[in-house]
Amino acid sequence: MAILPGNTTFPLINSTVNASFNHSLHNHASGFNPVYDTFIIFLALLIIAINGLVICLFIWKPCLKEITNYFLVSLAVSDGLTGLVVIPLHFACMLSGNKIELCFSFDMVHRVTAFSTVYHLLLITGDRYVAITRPFRHSSTFTPRVGYALLATVWGAAMFLPLIQLAWYDPYNLHVINPRIRRYELHYNITCAVIAFLVPVVIMILAYAEMLRIVTRHARAIEATTREKQTLTKEKRAMVIFASMLLVFIVCWFPFFFSSLAQDLEPTFMEIPEVAYLILFFVRFCSSIINPILYVFFKTDFKKALREVVMQYECRAAVTGFLLQNYSVSNNDEDDSSPRAPLRAHTPRTRS
């Protein structure tokens, strides 16, 4: 179950905050809260901007058209949806006084981005694992056709899993609560915690441990040429970046899966202060910011593409400034060199 602030009573949204926080959120729902609402709007815009930069760099720079970057750009689309759709739906849910239809939509779309993120990371891990353990088979294994099929599978799974909830919810009467729905929700959340968090994370940790072992062994064994050392360093750098993305996912999303499951098992399990709740609630969105930052500013090809774009912009700005300056100077010179009419001497008239 998704966790939203507020004292909603329908099973989709868990209530895990104290009474004073509930009261403050009801006051917030009746109007605009400058601090809270400004922060959430800024967060959404930041997510859209940084992930939009990734997508634009990929479109502008042909050198980025490789299979791994296709996976990263698809992840950027998923992260961008957090700022473009998920946060606005949360915002609408809060301002509407926790209207159940809006909060239900928020929960569904939020689950899509959560599942999409973990499966994209799993896909990227598999790509890197083949690249390091079987480098000569990588290009033949991850062909463009295979890459598109894998991405379609990731998005299909991410969209299908949240829709399973509609099997026991009545879309026209979401307020209905009964033991059958609660039982289904418990089984569903246990399944999601296993297949969308526990199993993928364990697989990725084992894969990165194996990749680290292989890279370390190669580094010790190679009496390498400069080119081989550069290739090994590049692979190690990419592995560190993607492993960092996995760590970010664990830190940001573990509270979500853990608290959802804990609330199903014991509704009064968590009573936390307002500040701690807000931190846990919004930390989920941090992965949508940190992921693109990691591979734009630290992955070699994206960093090079960004530098080229910045340099092109600076060159164009410099040329434009130079041309405008010359145009202004030439106009001033023309004004100074143009012949001026002689001044007529002013002689006072005399009366006759």
- Work out the angle at residue 106's Cα, subtended by the Cα atoms of residues 151 and 32, and round it to the nearest 5 degrees: 135
300 vs 238: CA distance, rounded Å: 8
Element (H, E) at 202: helix 199-221
Neighbours of 297 (CB within 10 A): 12
pLDDT digits (tens, 9 = 90+) for 19-54: 333 333 444 444 567 777 788 889 999 999 999 999
Residue 109 in contact with residue 81, Cβ under 8 Å?
yes
> Does a structural domain hold residue 9?
no
Are the C-beta atoms of 236 and 278 separated by less than 8 Å? Answer: no
pLDDT tens digit sequence for 215-252: 887 777 765 566 666 777 777 888 888 888 889 988 88
Cα–Cα distance for residue pair 14/12, rounded to 1 Å: 7
The predicted-structure confidence for 52-95, as pLDDT tens digits, reads as follows 999 999 999 888 999 999 999 999 999 999 999 999 998 888 88
Q: Outline where DSSP puts E strands in the chain.
A: 2-3, 13-14
Query: Who contacts 276 (Cβ-Cβ below 8 Å, separation ≥6)?
Result: none
Distance CA(294)–CA(244), nearest Å, equals 8
* 19 burial level (CB within 10 Å; 0-12, 13-18, 19+): exposed
How far is 71 from 296, CA to CA, in rounded Å?
14
CA dist., res. 33 & res. 53, Å (int): 30
- One DSSP character per residue, 66-135 reads SHHHHHHHHHHHHHHHIIIIIHHHHHHHHHTTS-HHHHHHHHHHHHHHHHHHHHHHHHHHHHHHHHHH-T
Position with higher pLDDT, 331 vs 154: 154
Return the number of other C-beta atoms located less than 10 Å from residue 90's C-beta. 26
> Quick check: is 330 in a domain?
no
Torsions phi, psi for 13 (to 5 deg) = -115, 125
CA separation for the pair 11, 322 (Å, rounded): 64
If pLDDT is split at 50, 70 and 90, which confidence band does 258 have?
confident
Q: Residue 277's pLDDT band (boundaries 50, 70, 90)? A: confident
% residues pLDDT > 90 (the chain): 30
Q: Tens digit of pLDDT for each residue in 287-309?
A: 899 999 988 888 888 988 888 88
Q: In this structure, what token pair is assigned to residue 105? A: 């939509």
Give the pLDDT confidence score for residue 32 in this predicted structure.
60
Contact 28, 281 (CB under 8 A): no
Q: Are the CB atoms for 161 and 196 separated by under 8 Å?
A: yes
320 domain-assigned: no
DSSP, collapsed to helix, strand or coil, labels residue 2 as strand
What is the C-alpha separation between 211 and 246, in angstroms, rounded?
14
pLDDT over 60 at 16, yes or no: no
Residues of the chain by 3-state class (helix, strand, coil), percent to 5: 80, 0, 20
326: confidence class by pLDDT, cuts 50, 70, 90: low
Q: Does residue 2 sit within a domain? A: no
pLDDT at 25: 44
How far from each other are the two terminal CA atoms of the chain, in whole angstroms?
108
Q: Which structural domain, as residue segments, surrounds residue 214?
A: 16-314
pLDDT classification of 343: cutoffs 50, 70, 90: very low
Q: Does residue 328 fall inside a structural domain?
A: no
Q: Give pTM, 2 decimals.
A: 0.80
* 1 part of a folded domain: no
Q: Report CA Rg, the chain.
A: 29
When divided into structural domains, the chain yields a total of: 1
> If you average pLDDT over residues 187-204, what whole number do you get?
90
CATH code of residue 64: 1.20.1070.10
Average pLDDT over residues 98-125: 90
Tell me 272's DSSP state: B
d(CA 98, CA 5): 9
In the predicted model, what is the mean pLDDT of the chain? 78
78 in a structural domain: yes
Q: What is the rounded CA–CA span in Å between residue 96 and residue 325?
A: 54
Query: What is the structure's pLDDT at 1?
Result: 42
